[in-house]
Structure 1
Amino acid sequence: MPKVTEEHVEARRRQILDAALACFSRNGFHQTTINDICEEANLSAGAIYNYFESKDSMIAECCTHGQTEIGEVFDGAQMLGTAREAIEKLAEVFIMGIASPEEQSATRLEVQLWSETLRNPDVLQAAMGPRSQVLAGLQSIVERGQRNGDVSGVADAEYVARVLMALRDGLVLQQSMDPDTDVSRYVAAMKQVTAGAVFT
């Protein structure tokens, strides 16, 4: 028997998860069956279960999809001069990206994940990892801005981070319900709202 490499295992898991993501976005979590995922991935049920113990385990892993990329984006933003520049760069990546056609299915899936966290503790726990990562990164940028004098010293850094996160979450919800939402105008208004209250 040839040895199965770690790269092969990861590639197969990625193939299955991509198929599951496509099905979940199209049909919803609870309407999607393992057979649907098998057909999408062109694999047997036995092959699927070699890599994931259940559909719920796939749903939970959806939450951590892209976590490495999130860290890389924040590392790049931290290198920018001011907190305003860093946050505007993050807005470009995390908010303006929502406008792209290829992100529409991801937006729908994210809203479904929020709903799933209300009934599935495992999904909630998995979802909190990336969200905590984003909140910590935003808070770090705000605190750096306070030290450098370009963010108001009286601002509550932790909750400024939460408000910035909520602005993105709100757009995700609006975009999922109304795909014609103008993301550029949303970002411009967001900058106007935060400019006087947060930045000096």
Structure 2
Amino acid sequence: MTTAVRTARTRLSPEARRAQLLECALAAFAEHGVARATHSHVAERAGVSVPAVHSYFRTRDDLVAAVLSEVEAYLLEIVSSSLGGKKSVPEALRALAVNFSRDARNKPDMMKVWLDWSTGVRADVWPRYMDVLERLHDIAQKLLERGKREGIIPSGLNAKAAARVYLGGGHTVALMQFSGAGRGEFDAVVDHLVRNAMGLGVGEPLPE
């Protein structure tokens, strides 16, 4: 009876339980992929019954939507916070690459789900990713347009195309962390991404 009372007292609130299940879902999706993770995988990680997971995420579509919402919010936050503010254009571009690298170490599940989602050209989840990607491109494009107005980026640079290529480099940075690339190699890739986004040649000094 004492054990039962203690269990009841430590029972999670609905909000806390949902947060726990969502964290476990992110880990399950990182391990099994967006296309294959199930309620059972989440239940096993959380130490609860499968029906308990269904009570918070009724269908697999609900589960997928909840996980992808977490990844979407993460991507929008890290890109907007890294590229926004009063940082110089080179500082902002470098900051995003460094932050992606950091989170590949500190938030590997989030990054793995992002990488999997970004390559899953499937009818049900792909349109949503393309919408997110367009919003991210717009954020990066605005930064590059600012650089053009400040005269530190060539006026003829296609800012939208450069934004697409630059954000595509985020995949490379994350994958380098997962593959254990050395610091020197990482710095060289980041320098190349920044220069390419700003339309600068190799060896050309970065503006302050």
TM-score by length of 2: 0.73
Question: Is 1:161 the counterpart of 2:149 in the alignment?
Answer: no
Q: Report the aligned-residue RMSD.
A: 2.9
Query: What's the counterpart of residue 188 of structure 1?
Result: 191
TM-score by length of 1: 0.75
Query: What's the counterpart of residue 108 of structure 1?
Result: 112
> What is the alpha-carbon distance in structure 2 between the residues aligned to residue 159 and residue 153 of structure 1?
14
> What is the alpha-carbon distance in structure 1 between the residues aligned to residue 75 and residue 118 of structure 2?
18
State which of 91, 95, 100 in structure 2 corresponds to 1:85: 91
> What is the alpha-carbon distance in structure 1 between the residues aligned to residue 147 and residue 114 of structure 2?
30
- Alpha-carbon spacing, 1:184–1:60, altered in 2? closer, same or farther (3 Å): farther
Percent identity between matched residues is 24
The equivalences for 1:23-42 within 5 A come to 23-42=28-47
* Deviation at residue 78 of structure 1 after TM alignment: 2.5
Contact 2:39 2:54 in 1 (8 A): no
Write the letter of the residue equivalent to 1:162.
R
* Deviation at residue 29 of structure 1 after TM alignment: 4.0
* Deviation at residue 63 of structure 1 after TM alignment: 2.6
- Higher Cα Rg, which structure: 2
- Alpha-carbon spacing, 1:63–1:45, altered in 2? closer, same or farther (3 Å): same
Question: Is 1:19 the counterpart of 2:21 in the alignment?
Answer: no
| Secondary structure, aligned partner of 1:122 | coil
4+ long deviations beyond 6 Å: none
CA offset digits 1:5-49 (Å, max 9, x no partner): xxx555433222211111122233455332221121233322222
| Secondary structure, aligned partner of 2:107 | helix
My pick for the range that moved more, 183-192 or 81-90, is 183-192
| Secondary structure, aligned partner of 2:180 | coil
Gaps of 5+ in 2: 1-12
The equivalences for 1:7-156 within 5 A come to 9-73=14-78, 74-75=80-81, 77-94=83-100, 96-100=101-105, 102-116=106-120, 118-119=121-122, 121-156=123-158
